[in-house]
């Protein structure tokens, strides 16, 4: 019988809520690291937030940083251990709010690290508060009547902001809502790790995700919501690819 799928040896259990796409993000990372044969020298810098649950699901060396500080910790690790592959795995509250300074400066310095940014447009772990990426009119526990732009501003497009900086060499956004987009996401995650292996500098991959628990939706409905609300606002694609000539 033909073997059509083999589970990555560095994935253990899925620690995320049912239907949460964080599990898909970590599965893709595991597959890419193993396919590139760099899993034994990879160091995952985990943030505060649901991404920290990767402690249960990814069998990798790791460091847990204070909230938002993963890019600073990753900078120190990569500079002192240049032969290791160092990446951060951060949520949108973590990266785009409390850790905004760290991500901007690590990107601007062109640190040779890989950043995986899982944007589920809400503070998941703490119970569904408004995040910098929460969509206009989206309800959260701190925007009961929906995000109001006159008092809460607009959702921040992090990939576009990072793209404006000179140093980053690869900036992309993909979505985890469908098999087609998951395949594209895996491709770009692979490119981001290859970039680091080739000493090309800072890579940033934003992955659009869901949070059925805090969006208070069935998983299947959360995917529809992503397609009709999240993806039209956060456009998918490669925003910057220095090797590719942009
Ligand atoms: C310094 C500090 N401030 C606040 C918190 C509380 N806190 C824990 S997780 C979290 C939100 C994380 O949200 P996000 O980064 O969007 O990740 P998600 O859980 O949605 O994947 C917050 C505010 C904390 N642990 N430490």
Q: Is 115 in the pocket of ligand 1 (CB under 6 A)?
A: no
Angle between helices 70-80 and 100-109 (to 10 degrees): 30
Place 13 in a pLDDT band, splitting at 50, 70 and 90.
confident
Is 67 a pocket residue for ligand 1 (Cβ < 6 Å)?
A: yes
Asked if 186 and 164 count as a contact pair (C-beta separation under 8 A), the reply is no
Ligand 1 near 48 CB (within 6 A): yes
pLDDT of residue 9: 94
Q: Which residue, judged by its Cα, is nearest atom 3 of ligand 1?
A: 67
Closest residue by CA, ligand 1 atom 12:
49
The verdict on the CB of residue 68 being under 6 Å from ligand 1 is no
Structure tokens at 114: 């890989």
Strands 237-241 and 170-175: antiparallel
Determine which residue's CA is closest to atom 5 belonging to ligand 1: 67
Residue 212, CA distances (Å) to 38, 103, 116, 136, 144 in order: 33, 27, 21, 18, 17
Ligand 1 geometric centre to CA of 119 (Å): 13
Find the angle CA(224)-CA(191)-CA(242) to the nearest 5 degrees. Answer: 105
pLDDT tens, position by position, 32-44: 999 999 999 999 9
Gap from CA of 53 to ligand 1 centroid (Å): 12
- Its sign, for the CA torsion 77, 90, 36, 168, is negative
Paired tokens of 34: 């193993």
Return the domain boundaries, the chain: 22-126+157-241
Helix H or strand E segment including 180 = helix 179-197
Please tell me the total number of residues recorded for the chain in this structure: 246
Q: pLDDT class for 244, splitting at 50, 70, 90?
A: low
Residue 166 has pLDDT above 70, yes or no: yes
CATH architecture of 22-126+157-241: 3-Layer(aba) Sandwich (3.40)
- Please compute, for residue 238, the number of CA atoms within 13 A of its CA located in the half-sphere on the CB side: 18
Pocket test for ligand 1, best of 52, 67, 211 (most atoms within 8 A of CB): 67
Q: Whose CA is nearest to atom 9 of ligand 1?
A: 49
pLDDT tens readout for residues 168-201: 999 999 999 999 999 999 999 999 999 999 999 9
C-alpha count within 13 angstroms, C-beta hemisphere, residue 42 = 26
| Contact 226 CB / ligand 1 (< 6 Å) | no
């Amino acid at each position: 019988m033909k073997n059509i799928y083999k589970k990555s040896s560095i994935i253990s259990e899925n620690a995320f809520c049912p239907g949460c796409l964080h599990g898909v993000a970590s599965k893709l990372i595991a597959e890419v690291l193993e396919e590139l044969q760099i899993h034994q020298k990879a160091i995952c810098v985990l943030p505060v937030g649901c991404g920290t649950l990767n402690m249960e699901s990814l069998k990798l060396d790791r460091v847990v940083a204070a909230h938002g500080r993963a890019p600073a910790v990753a900078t120190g690790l990569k500079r002192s251990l240049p032969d290791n592959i160092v990446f951060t795995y951060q949520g949108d509250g973590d990266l785009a709010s409390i850790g905004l300074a760290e991500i901007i400066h690590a990107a601007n310095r062109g640190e040779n690290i890989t950043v995986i940014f899982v944007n589920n447009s809400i503070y998941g772990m703490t119970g569904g508060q408004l995040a910098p990426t929460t969509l206009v009119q989206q309800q959260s526990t701190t925007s009961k009547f929906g995000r109001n732009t006159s008092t809460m501003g607009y959702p921040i497009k992090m990939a576009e902001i990072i793209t404006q900086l000179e140093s980053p060499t690869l900036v992309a956004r993909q979505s985890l809502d469908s098999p087609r987009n998951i395949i594209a996401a895996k491709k770009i995650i692979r490119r981001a790790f290859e970039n680091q292996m080739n000493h090309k500098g800072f890579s940033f991959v934003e992955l659009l995700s869901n949070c059925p628990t805090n969006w208070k939706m069935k998983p299947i409905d959360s995917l529809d919501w992503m397609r009709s609300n999240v993806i039209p606002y956060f456009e998918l694609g490669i925003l910057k690819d220095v090797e590719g000539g942009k």
